[in-house]
Chains A and B, each alone.
Chain A
């Protein structure tokens, strides 16, 4: 068994409005001198520390946890899962 860090990024699916991201873009970034930015999207990241036999198992276990416990709401959100060595 080895320890892995698993990052779970929860973000809105395309088409779901993200008023927080729009506010950061329109009322902060574009009010300064950073005119090259066209979009900002907010997301939530959970960092799991998990002991499993390999990276693949660590990823599938975290995916299973996220699905089973509704860590993200599948109607509006999608998750991206990345695994790193601890």
Chain B
């Protein structure tokens, strides 16, 4: 049971993610440098947050051309669960694995605060332990977190049940208050908020259970009980 945490130049949430995967959920997690390839027997891949390549040109776009992304695409086609958090979400979008784009927040501010998400799709490998429309208190930390899709794409996302998380109220000007989406098959999920910063009661003063369900969903999907 292997989970890969992909590390790009400028990733800075990779160690937090690794800590949560190994110390909290007892998974066999490993770092994979972006210039390397992923092993064929990997069970899930996580692209953690950060500022790959200093957000130069556009958040995520340079990392989307990294050699490891070819392997991530192959894993995505095979149906392996893939989660992108924050910059990881931006990289998945820029690599074409997820629809839409992430623009500068409407306020132009870097936003670091607690938000509330609503689960809109509880069929993905990362949300199968949630009740539909369950609320999750979870932090965001981003400057380019405003999810944008045009009207036709938004209709498609709704039709194909690809909207995974929405903010309970307007946060940054995202289309339809979207905070996370998945591909049509549902195995590739991207989200701007940081679940790895909210799964432990020591650092989540509100309620750590909902965010930990994101990882418990993965454990359920890949057949390991914690």
Interface readout for A66-86 with B: 1 if CB under 8 Å, 0 if not?
000111010110000000000
Interface of A is mostly: loop
Q: How long is the Cα–Cα vector from A20 to B148 in the complex, in angstroms?
A: 17
Binds A, one of B104-112, B123-131, B198-206, B209-217: B104-112
Closest-by-CB residue of B relative to A71 is: B57
Contact B94 A75 (CB under 8 A): no
Q: Say how far A7's CB is from chain B's closest CB, in angstroms.
A: 16
- Chain A residues lying within 8 Å of B104, measured Cβ to Cβ, are 19-20
Q: A69-B65, A70-B94 are in contact. Are A75 and B106 (CB under 8 A)?
A: no
Which of the residues B107, B108, B149, B173 comes within 8 Å of A75, measured between beta carbons? B149
Report the interface size for chain A: residues with CB under 8 A from the other chain. Answer: 11
B205 → A minimal CB distance (Å):
31
CA distance A66 to B140 in the complex (A): 31
Question: Which residue of the partner chain A has the closest CB to B65?
Answer: A69
Contacts of B94 in A (CB 8 A): 70, 73
Contacts A17-B173, A69-B65 given; indicate if A76 touches B108 (C-beta within 8 A): no
With A19-B108, A20-B104 known as contacts, the answer to whether A75 contacts B150 (CB < 8 A) is: yes
Residue A16 at the chain B interface, CB threshold 8 Å: yes
- A57: interface (CB < 8 Å): no
CA distance A73 to B104 in the complex (A): 13
**Interface pair B101/A75, CB less than 8 Å apart:** yes
A23 close to B (CB within 8 Å): yes
Contact digits for B47-71, partner A, Cβ 8 Å, 1 yes 0 no: 0000000000110010011000000
Asked if A75 and B61 sit within 8 Å, CB to CB, the answer is no
> Is A75 in contact with B57, judged by CB distance below 8 angstroms?
no
Q: Which residue of B lies closest to A69 (CB)?
A: B65
**Which of A16, A23, A70, A76 is the one whose CB lies under 8 Å from B61?**
A70
Q: Please name 21 pairs of A and B residues whose Cβ atoms are closer than 8 Å in the assembled complex, sorted by A.
A: A16-B103, A17-B106, A17-B173, A19-B104, A19-B108, A20-B104, A20-B108, A69-B65, A70-B94, A71-B57, A73-B58, A73-B61, A73-B94, A73-B101, A75-B100, A75-B101, A75-B148, A75-B149, A76-B101, A76-B103, A76-B148
